[in-house]
A and B are shown apart, each in its own frame.
Chain A
Amino acid sequence: MSKIIRKAPTEPFKPQPDDDLIICRCEEITKGEIRRAVHDGLRTVNEIKRWTRAGMGLCQGQTCQRNVQNIIARELGISVADVGMITGRAPVRPVVMEVYANDVVDKEEQR
């Protein structure tokens, strides 16, 4: 269940010197882009994921989730616990689309 965060950034977006820092390695999303998104009205880590693609790449946010959470929390002045987590979804590991077509039905051996 996604959280509702009713807190908005208290100050307008101000550029920071390390805004060009890559946070999501897979999708190459920077700290600045994530901060910008918070100011654009996105709040939870799931919202940020869908808006910026941070955490939507091949690794599914395994590397960047914690760092994205920290950035949102700091930007909103709230606890990381309130930013929420990326909803675990199947497939939790990368699967080539072609493989999905190779659905095998294993049957119990008749005894």
Chain B
Amino acid sequence: MDSDMRIWEHPVLGKYEKYEEPKVLHFTLDGKDMTGYEGDSVAAALKAAGVMTHRYTAKNHRPRGIFCAIGRCTDCVMIVNGQPNVRTCITPLEEGMELRTQYGVQTKEEWEAENDEEI
């Protein structure tokens, strides 16, 4: 859990509020169990867990991840609790969240079923 991507203490900001008494949140990514902290955005929790690819594009299946981190570029979208195109950088992580890597606007299984080919 203790990820080396976390900044436990910052020379200017000190200790972040969410790390004072960190509350662990459980979520799944494509069915795999993962954890983050309360106060994380979905994108930050994934970044801390070492996940960089949030989705694959519809046309060319190019991997995409965090790009603007403030909800403008819409590159970091994923399927969150069944809803596609959710901007993960501005969506707070919640206990029990189900995240799916987004293929076009679908899950991998949906995409493969519809296009009759494997990714």
Question: B-contacting residues of A (Cβ < 8 Å)?
Answer: 22, 25-26, 28, 57-59, 62-63, 94
Contact = CB atoms under 8 A, between A and B. Distances in A.
Given A59-B72, A63-B73, A28 B85 contact: no
Main secondary structure of the interface of A (DSSP, over half): loop
Interface of B: 57-60, 62, 64, 67-68, 72-75, 77, 85
A63 B58 CA distance: 18
A28 B77 contact: no
Nearest to B71: A93
Given A28-B57, A94-B85, A58 B62 contact: no
B69 to A, nearest CB: 13
A4 B67 CA distance: 34
B89 to A, nearest CB: 13
A28 B73 contact: no
A25 B62 CA distance: 10
17 contacts: A22-B62, A25-B75, A28-B58, A28-B59, A28-B62, A57-B74, A58-B74, A58-B77, A58-B85, A59-B72, A59-B73, A62-B73, A63-B67, A63-B68, A63-B72, A63-B73, A94-B85
A63 B72 CA distance: 8
A94 B62 contact: no
Contacts of B85: 58, 94
Contacts of A63: 67-68, 72-73
Contacts of A62: 72-73
A106 to B, nearest CB: 24
Given A25-B64, A59-B72, A63-B68, 8 more contacts: A22-B60, A25-B75, A28-B57, A28-B58, A57-B74, A58-B77, A59-B74, A63-B67
A58 B76 CA distance: 11
Contacts of A94: 74, 85
